[in-house]
Amino acid sequence: MIIRSYRHSTPAPQPDPAADPLPERKLSCLLDTLQSDSEQWIESVRDLISNERDMQVMIADYLRHTGHYTMVDTEYRVPLPELQARGVRPGSQAFPWENQLSIDVVVELDGHFAAIELKYATATVDCPFTLFGEQMLDPDSQIVKNQAASNLTMYNYWKDVRRIETLADVFPRVDGGVAILITNNRTYWKAPRPDANYANFSMHEGNTVGRGPMTWPAGVAEAITKSHPDFQLTDAYTCRWHDTHIAVKAANGDPFRYCITTITNPKNQ
């Protein structure tokens, strides 16, 4: 078992409200605490994260040690029949997916709940790795690999946002949640070409996504549209990117950066 220690640092810089075209959202006490704690966790990370499951364990452990929550749970499952009983219609544009929800992390405070969904997308890193205290002998072995299909990762990020919107809509005690993506791949924070097939899902700096249909353009392969169907976001969200303090960089020199999106219960707005 690996025991990790964390160093607290100053909270991540907040976006300039004057630069954000969206109205200020009213956050519950739980969401305000969760957003701040999530940013401080990211700011505390110095070592390379191995994978998304590692990220899930790390943030859950950090949140438990803050003492701010009465419960921190991982892989929180919501059966599809329960969603249907609460009015969710699988196969509709509002919720086209026909499987149960497995939320990465759920926290509780004073009888209110919030969800965390995580994404970790990597480009190849340029650093030596050790196994069992020894330098790896095979130079071609990669612990952190280059992950392709950034267009689908962006889709899945906004899908996570929609899933949290849905939970907040049908469970009165769910205040909302946060979606987090950490990556060292510049594709995510750089604007795409206008004809890029993922333009509607782009997460580039300053881009506002949502409040309406999230659709693929004509001509996208049927295999993609079938496994990643169009859907609809209730709210709109502006992407803001911040540097992490992870010392390792991509082979091309790009740093690890993060985007965090806070989703609120419509009744709080």
The pLDDT of 11-38, averaged and rounded, is 68
Q: In sequence order, what are the beta bridge partners of 28?
A: none
19 in any annotated domain: no
Q: Does the pLDDT at position 16 exceed 50?
A: no
∠ Cα 149 57 259 (to 5°): 45
5 in any annotated domain: no
Q: What are the φ/ψ torsions at residue 104 (nearest 5 degrees)? A: -60, -50
The pLDDT of 187-211, averaged and rounded, is 94
Return d(Cα 232, Cα 3) in angstroms, integer: 41
70 in any annotated domain: yes
Q: Indicate the range of 94-103, 136-145, 209-218 predicted with least confidence.
A: 136-145
The number of folded domains in the chain is: 1
201 in any annotated domain: no
Return d(Cα 43, Cα 6) in angstroms, integer: 10
17 in any annotated domain: no
Range of the domain at 72: 27-186+241-268
Distances (CA, A) of 240 to 120, 126, 136, 185, 261: 16, 26, 37, 15, 8
12 in any annotated domain: no
pLDDT at 1: 29
H-helix or E-strand spanning residue 135: strand 134-135
163 in any annotated domain: yes
The pLDDT of 253-260, averaged and rounded, is 95
Return d(Cα 214, Cα 265) in angstroms, integer: 20
222 in any annotated domain: no
Q: Does the pLDDT at position 130 exceed 60?
A: yes
Q: How confident is the model at residue 269 (pLDDT cuts 50, 70, 90)?
A: low
Cα dihedral 71→77→83→86 (10° resolution): -20
pTM listed for this prediction: 0.87
Residue pair 185/250 in contact (Cβ under 8 Å)? The answer is yes
User: What's the mean pLDDT when you consider all of the chain?
Assistant: 88
Cα 134 from chain centre: 33
Residue with tokens 């249909």: 213
For residue 258, give the 3-state DSSP assignment: strand
Q: What are the φ/ψ torsions at residue 173 (nearest 5 degrees)? A: -85, 0
Residue pair 175/28 in contact (Cβ under 8 Å)? The answer is yes
Q: How confident is the model at residue 14 (pLDDT cuts 50, 70, 90)?
A: very low
In sequence order, which residues have a C-beta less than 8 Å from that of residue 245 and are 6 or more positions away?
9, 43, 44, 45, 46
